[in-house]
Structure 1
């Protein structure tokens, strides 16, 4: 019988790719959603995080939960109300499932969760591994609260693994579309100083990491979900320009402009995070894409 996996955030960018891949691999996949009736080709269960309502049948037969739920960090301005929603959508969602597990018999053994390299904050040239302390700023706070909420699963005897995702590169949607638009409209240049480190990862490798962790019972704790070779912002944009055969201009878009237009959210593009991927490599995961150029060529074909 196929293993049952429950995915939160299954209708999002990563969730869509992951659920399809899991189904292709023979897993029985279900998702959580406020509108189960709208979901096609996938079993869906109702929940409403704000109302703290959940269909208790969602755990029946499930061995692994993959937690991807959370409002899009890039949407809207970071008002106080918006920041509260960004945190609560990540923490209260997994909390709702853990509360259900405390009062209902279940077979869940493993919880795998997304997190983000934003937990490190803006760290300049510092090389960051999973033992590095959290940084400052809203992104760091959000990710730290997210991970703390997920980690509560260990008190329930679960195997818990969290993936600190870097700049996720996908064939459609996501941040790469924004950079491609810049390049194709001949406005490709450095963002701010251009020296900030971008810890990127190809979507195939992120999905591969989750699949690896589903089967690998030794996968637990925190992993940097970033390619082993991070690049600086200027190198990232220059490489994409080369791949798309468009010019890269030597001028820079000033930091002040981003801060004026985006406010506190400007840290999404200006922060520098130089991560290492040694831990997951030593644990046995083999990257498909090590070179940014190769990754971008694959994603822009």
Structure 2
């Protein structure tokens, strides 16, 4: 019997990758989005009909965090995650035959800025600030209430690497000669940013902030793994077992692209640049040190466990498609 997989908020590169891969293995894939095509947000009855009898629901919905964290964007980042998750829960509750498994996107940014030790599902410490508040509200909505027929897994994703990911602008920086490390340092805090939780407090510096990552192929692999292992529920870290740091990441990317040097970017440069580009320094300065304890203990074998090989595969794929 053909599996029926429903992907919500799947217009980005991760969702497109999942949809293509599941269809290639013979599954029926349906999509929920702002404009369908199979069901649209706000049409809870239509979403319920689509989910009834489905084998797997994967929700990836949420406004990109690659923006400036002003009041409107902050509100939309939260709303686009919490409200869509709530609507899916209402639909699942209304199903006669609800999905057996529901995986909801979350983020490894839920953990604190970590320079001293890695964060795992069992021993990780939740951080503070706006991004963490978003993640905790998202997961709180996802796990609230009873869904006795549906197993729930929150996917705490590290930075996902692939063709179309956050890697692309980094590749462009490298090719422009700006592919050195992003260096933390002092920067004055405003009352507004402190109150909103969007100010990045200075870390160790030197480009040694940890860089936890996962290849998009292993996002797919981890979802398949969690779908098939009925013991997996609750939170699941999606990250490579071999995290890097910012300095090493940029050096590796330069080597893979054949660029011999890259100018570093200091905190003051990043603050000015991100203000112009309408994004936030936290995205490159927060130390994300995350390990996939449950995947490793469960025997999952990573397709791309090492950064150098993962980057080479992505760059080779882009060149082959050109």
TM over 0.5: yes
Provide, for residues 217-257 of structure 1, a one-character-per-residue CA deviation record: whole Å limited to 9, x for no partner. Answer: 222121211101111100000011111110233x5311122
Question: Partners in 1 of 2:54 and 2:117 — Cα distance?
Answer: 41
Structure 1 portions without partners, runs of 5+: none
Q: Could you say which residue in structure 2 is the equivalent of 1:257?
A: 269
Question: Partners in 1 of 2:294 and 2:228 — Cα distance?
Answer: 17
Compare 210-219 and 232-241 and name the one that shifted more: 210-219
Q: Could you say which residue in structure 2 is the equivalent of 1:292?
A: 307
Match of 2:207 among 184, 194, 215: 194
Shift of 1:155: 4.2
Query: If each structure's strand is expressed as a fraction of its own residues, which one has the higher value?
Result: 1
Q: Could you say which residue in structure 2 is the equivalent of 1:113?
A: 104
Relative to structure 1, is the Cα distance of residues 261 and 127 closer, same or farther in structure 2, using a 3 angstrom cutoff? same
Q: Could you say which residue in structure 1 is the equivalent of 2:7?
A: 7
Partner SS state of residue 104, structure 2: strand
Q: Is the 8 A contact 1:121 1:137 kept in 2?
A: no
Alignment of 1:1-301 (within 5 A): 1-36=1-36, 39=37, 44-48=38-42, 53=44, 55=46, 56-74=48-66, 76-131=67-122, 132-152=124-144, 154-170=146-162, 172-192=163-183, 193-249=206-262, 252-262=264-274, 265-301=280-316
Q: Is the 8 A contact 2:112 2:128 kept in 1?
A: yes
Partner SS state of residue 300, structure 1: helix
Question: Partners in 1 of 2:304 and 2:69 — Cα distance?
Answer: 33
Shift of 1:64: 1.7
Relative to structure 1, is the Cα distance of residues 122 and 71 closer, same or farther in structure 2, using a 3 angstrom cutoff? same
Partner SS state of residue 10, structure 1: coil
Q: Is the 8 A contact 2:121 2:293 kept in 1?
A: no
Question: Partners in 2 of 1:149 and 1:14 — Cα distance?
Answer: 22
Question: Partners in 1 of 2:146 and 2:271 — Cα distance?
Answer: 39
Partner SS state of residue 133, structure 1: coil
Question: Partners in 2 of 1:259 and 1:10 — Cα distance?
Answer: 31
Q: Which runs of at least 4 in structure 1 moved beyond 4 Å after TM superposition?
A: 153-157
Q: Is the 8 A contact 1:123 1:135 kept in 2?
A: no
Q: CA RMSD in A?
A: 1.8
Q: Is the 8 A contact 1:70 1:90 kept in 2?
A: yes
Shift of 1:102: 2.8
Relative to structure 1, is the Cα distance of residues 115 and 23 closer, same or farther in structure 2, using a 3 angstrom cutoff? same
Provide, for residues 74-113 of structure 1, a one-character-per-residue CA deviation record: whole Å limited to 9, x for no partner. Answer: 1x31112211111111111011121123334233221112
Partner SS state of residue 31, structure 1: strand
Question: Partners in 1 of 2:4 and 2:60 — Cα distance?
Answer: 17
Report the TM-score, using the length of structure 2 for normalisation. 0.84
Q: Is the 8 A contact 1:69 1:90 kept in 2?
A: yes
Relative to structure 1, is the Cα distance of residues 206 and 101 closer, same or farther in structure 2, using a 3 angstrom cutoff? closer
Compare 137-146 and 119-128 and name the one that shifted more: 119-128
Shift of 1:54: 5.0
Question: Partners in 2 of 1:162 and 1:210 — Cα distance?
Answer: 11
